[in-house]
Structure 1
Amino acid sequence: MPETASDQELIDEMRERVAEARKSLSAALGAGDGEAAWEAALVALTARGRFGIRLGLGRSRSLLRALDSPEQGVRGALVAGTNGKGSVVALVSAALNAAGVRHATTPSPHLVSYRERLQIDGKPIGGLPFARAIDRALAAADQIEARVGPTTEFELLVGAIFDALREEQVKTAVVEIGLGGRLDAMHAWDGGVAVVTNVGLDHERYLGDTIEAIAGEKAAIIVRGDRAVTGATLRGGALDAMRHRAARVGAPLRIAVPGEVELLGRNGLHVELEGYGVVRIGLLGRHQAVNAAVAAATIDALREAGIADVSADALRSGFAAARWPGRMELIENAFGPTSGRDLLLDGAHNPDGAAALAEGINDLGDDLRGAGKTTLVLGAMADKAVDALCIALTESERLRGATLICTSVADPRSLPPADLERIAKAAGLGSSTIIAADAAAAMRAAATHHGPVVVAGSLYLIGAVREGLMRSGVLPNEGLL
């Protein structure tokens, strides 16, 4: 995606694509053809990526007003953070499911289908209702364009999401911030609870090049009248930024800190949580202890705000059942029913995420199964701190000695595999290297080896691998293909 608005020729091309897609969308909606309507809506929505990333809330707020403010009927938690957002949302969602609370979540980015970006009770919304919401959002965008300019893809998505929730009569949501916090389009909504999971270095071009600066951007989602939750630490002044912002707007702040942790191998972990005692977490990796503490504090804040009442038993049941695709996701026998080989998928795409993955692999030890040395399939975006990411991965002895398969993903920002190989070698990652043109080729190469396979470096890569596994029947389709 371009970082700034494209030149006029590309914008004119986009307008033509959108116009044709909207004709197809209108016809499909009239015929009640959900599949065709969704395909046309997706073209009309994603074509606006040509307008690039334009931080600011003015267009999002104008669009929501043109839609008659559907966001005002939804309360819940707005979740920001460098890492852990998805895990926290997955844990909170699982607890809400266990308590029977109907709710929406907005995972970002999606892995296989764009419809994953709006889920109700953990299931992606249907193509037809999502297409209808996009159609209404497009019409609203037409109304405001002369005054505020063309809306971007993500601004339009915000409008469509809340319009769809109004139509589906969903009153509770746990919503992820896309980039930063202060100026992210999703911050046009305030649900009453503001959560910042943690703060590290990522998206420095937009958010600043220090943890303190990035923390300030993320802390800005805390507004007057909120209850605030954070798992941020003192590193780089992140926790101080949270405290300062909460005090400035008069928001009570919960600082989530986990207690004693017991690792359970392939079965997750036990962690002591304030007010709940020892709780089993179904997600893998000791870093999930902090995410669980943040999620439990979020549940408490939702209860205190009168938004959702989740009992201790429901929280325990939900946290034990929680799953989060593409994040320390362990898939057994992915290379055949008798292969005895594990496939571990993790979207680690920044140094902190890579460090957590390396630690998780170390903790799994022999519980990561396969008869031979590990294969690491790695792909990364060129605008990420790839050198630091590779260095962080070398904290795992398995990964230092792994067969490294460097690949690319279907995105213009993808780092060429040869460049990735050079950076990985300089970091001491992998004992031998293979170049693969794409995710499918990388997985075919990995299948010829005998040890466990780890896939990491980009959520786009994880999505491509999961799609392949769905098409081959290793993973359930879940109606996404």
Structure 2
Amino acid sequence: MARTTKTKSCSSSRKKDAGKTIRGYKEAMDYIFSHTDYEKQRLLRYNITTFDLTRMYRLLKEMKNPEKGQNFIHIAGSKGKGSTSTMLARMLEAGGYKVGLYTSPHITSMHERISVNNKHITERQMTALVREIKPAVDKLAKENIQPTFFELLTAMAFVHFKNQKADYVVLETGLGGRLDSTNVVQPLITAITQISIDHQRQLGYKIEQIAKEKAGIIKEGVPVVTIDQDENALEVIKADSEAKNSPLWITGVNVDFSSRFESSREDGPHTRICVQSETSKFEHLKVPLPGDHQALNCGLALTIIDQLKNLGCEIENEDIVKGLENVHMPGRMEVVFNEPTVIVDAAHNAASLRALIATIGQHIPYDSLIFIFGCNADKDIHGMLDQLQYGADKVIFTRSSSPRAISPDELAEEYNELTGRMCQTSLSLGDALKIAGSAVTRGDVICISGSVYLVGDAIKRFNRIKEAARANAAQQ
């Protein structure tokens, strides 16, 4: 094991917290958030100093390695990780298994990240976990080894899944894969969703570099599942799988896969897939989430199920179908308001935005499409703005609550230079909605996208509007 790497942080506050007893939920959250949170840093370096697995290994060792003995399915990728993970979890749950699911980032609440059988971790459970890990964290602090927020949350998830006696754990990476805090487990299967340009400052500006980071989760002899995707990315995955003697299954190549879009009176617009693998055959299976990209994600999840069957997992096809029917993903093509129609979608790279625009066109008729858009400074801004010009009839740039958010004026300037088209800016989501509301007609659609933070802000806002409407209705 490599030498322990130390990170710089506010050591004085940690010393003060070290002897403090966690009495309740607020203190537990204060303790967790007092640690370095890379998700909130505007400029983030991706190297073995900031992303150091040695810290994670040391933390887990002090906690007596709660991850040992658990059945992990480890999933990386640029887009589709959350959807694939959720579909896989729902299918396994319908088969009678207890399934832990770890995802990031969250949409509206941190509790979304850790769940067992579709039940988010509770405040009481979260508080108990912080109390449980704190002695180990404080012991490391005496050596000036300071785990990050994400490392602590990942370790807490491992403990929670162990405590809950989960049969399987679907584990989604945070950033990249090779240096991600989740990459300390020995999984049953590794899976890689679609790879596209994203987080270039951290992962690289070429898709081969990004693929190399994602493929870093591949383990010696462990089956790898992916989809037929960009040729250069796929070559990297193939090379890494071969180097580690890991059998590779590619949905759409050595696993038969096809999809088609259709519309019916009963189901409306939707996609159906056919998948034939070693253990199963599905014909015209309805994909629970809209969009061609979700058909690929669904096919990938079914291929993972196929490999789990080869490892002894017993699940009937009827349970698989039932599990897919239970899939719901907040913040993915979610209609949060009617009259006018307001959609939120956490598309945060160019490929996701292109898929979103195509999916809206397939599923929702409209006269004009108005985008309220904001994103973080470390994204492929040029690529995302390029996609916007082909789908949006009107664009309003705003900023989310993320510390890494780029200013609306910078977005507008680059958009104008790139496209020569007019746009508007707003410093807040509320003002952006007012601008959109003044221009929208009955046949128009407003779409809020570009950032998970912005989508989270929007969902909270519209939930408050709905709650106020219900309260007013109850008083009348």
- TM-score, with structure 1 as normaliser: 0.85
Q: Check if 1:45 corresponds to 2:40.
A: no
Q: Check if 1:373 corresponds to 2:368.
A: yes
Q: Check if 1:268 corresponds to 2:264.
A: no
Partners of 2:193 and 2:447 in 1: CA distance: 25
Residue identity in the other structure for 1:41? A
Partners of 2:290 and 2:335 in 1: CA distance: 8
What is the CA-CA distance between 1:291 and the residue it aligns to?
Answer: 0.8
Q: Give the unaligned 5+ runs of structure 1.
A: 29-36
User: Match for residue 34 of structure 1?
Assistant: none
Q: Is the 8 A contact 1:267 1:282 kept in 2?
A: no
SS in 1 for 2:347: coil
Q: Is the 8 A contact 1:116 1:125 kept in 2?
A: yes
Q: Check if 1:436 corresponds to 2:432.
A: no
Q: Check if 1:178 corresponds to 2:174.
A: yes
What is the CA-CA distance between 1:146 and the residue it aligns to?
Answer: 4.3
Residue identity in the other structure for 1:462? V
Q: Check if 1:455 corresponds to 2:418.
A: no
Which of residues 371, 391, 406 in structure 2 aligns to 1:415? Answer: 406
Alignment of 1:27-46 (within 5 A): 27-28=23-24, 37=25, 39-46=26-33
What is the CA-CA distance between 1:164 and the residue it aligns to?
Answer: 1.5
SS in 1 for 2:112: helix
Which of residues 127, 135, 147 in structure 2 aligns to 1:139? Answer: 135
User: Match for residue 238 of structure 2?
Assistant: 243
User: Match for residue 168 of structure 1?
Assistant: 164
Partners of 2:190 and 2:116 in 1: CA distance: 20
What is the CA-CA distance between 1:465 and the residue it aligns to?
Answer: 0.7
What is the CA-CA distance between 1:161 and the residue it aligns to?
Answer: 0.8
User: Match for residue 316 of structure 1?
Assistant: 321
Q: Check if 1:195 corresponds to 2:191.
A: yes
- TM-score, with structure 2 as normaliser: 0.86
User: Match for residue 93 of structure 1?
Assistant: 89
Partners of 2:294 and 2:125 in 1: CA distance: 34
SS in 2 for 1:284: coil
Over 3 Å counting, the alpha-carbon distance change for 1:442 and 1:42 in structure 2 is farther
Which of residues 280, 283, 306 in structure 1 aligns to 2:286? Answer: 280
SS in 2 for 1:268: strand
What is the CA-CA distance between 1:267 and the residue it aligns to?
Answer: 4.5
Partners of 2:361 and 2:200 in 1: CA distance: 29
Q: Check if 1:300 corresponds to 2:295.
A: no
Q: Is the 8 A contact 1:196 1:219 kept in 2?
A: yes
Whichever structure has more helix as a proportion of its residues is: 1
User: Match for residue 391 of structure 1?
Assistant: 386
User: Match for residue 31 of structure 1?
Assistant: none
SS in 2 for 1:78: strand
Q: Is the 8 A contact 2:80 2:194 kept in 1?
A: yes
What is the CA-CA distance between 1:168 and the residue it aligns to?
Answer: 2.1
What is the CA-CA distance between 1:16 and the residue it aligns to?
Answer: 6.6
**Count of residues in correspondence between the two structures:** 443
What is the CA-CA distance between 1:81 and the residue it aligns to?
Answer: 0.2
Residue identity in the other structure for 1:55? F
User: Match for residue 470 of structure 1?
Assistant: 463
Over 3 Å counting, the alpha-carbon distance change for 1:12 and 1:444 in structure 2 is farther
SS in 2 for 1:71: coil
What is the CA-CA distance between 1:234 and the residue it aligns to?
Answer: 4.1
Q: Is the 8 A contact 1:328 1:357 kept in 2?
A: yes
SS in 2 for 1:49: coil
Higher mean C-alpha deviation, range 437-446 or range 254-263: 437-446
Considering only aligned residues, what root-mean-square deviation do their CA atoms show, in Å?
A: 2.6
Deviations 1:67-111 (A, max 9, x none): 111111321311000111011012112212322221111121001
Partners of 2:426 and 2:437 in 1: CA distance: 13
Q: Give the unaligned 5+ runs of structure 2.
A: 45-49, 471-476
Residue identity in the other structure for 1:458? S
What is the CA-CA distance between 1:6 and the residue it aligns to?
Answer: 8.3
What is the CA-CA distance between 1:112 and the residue it aligns to?
Answer: 0.7
What is the CA-CA distance between 1:228 and the residue it aligns to?
Answer: 1.1
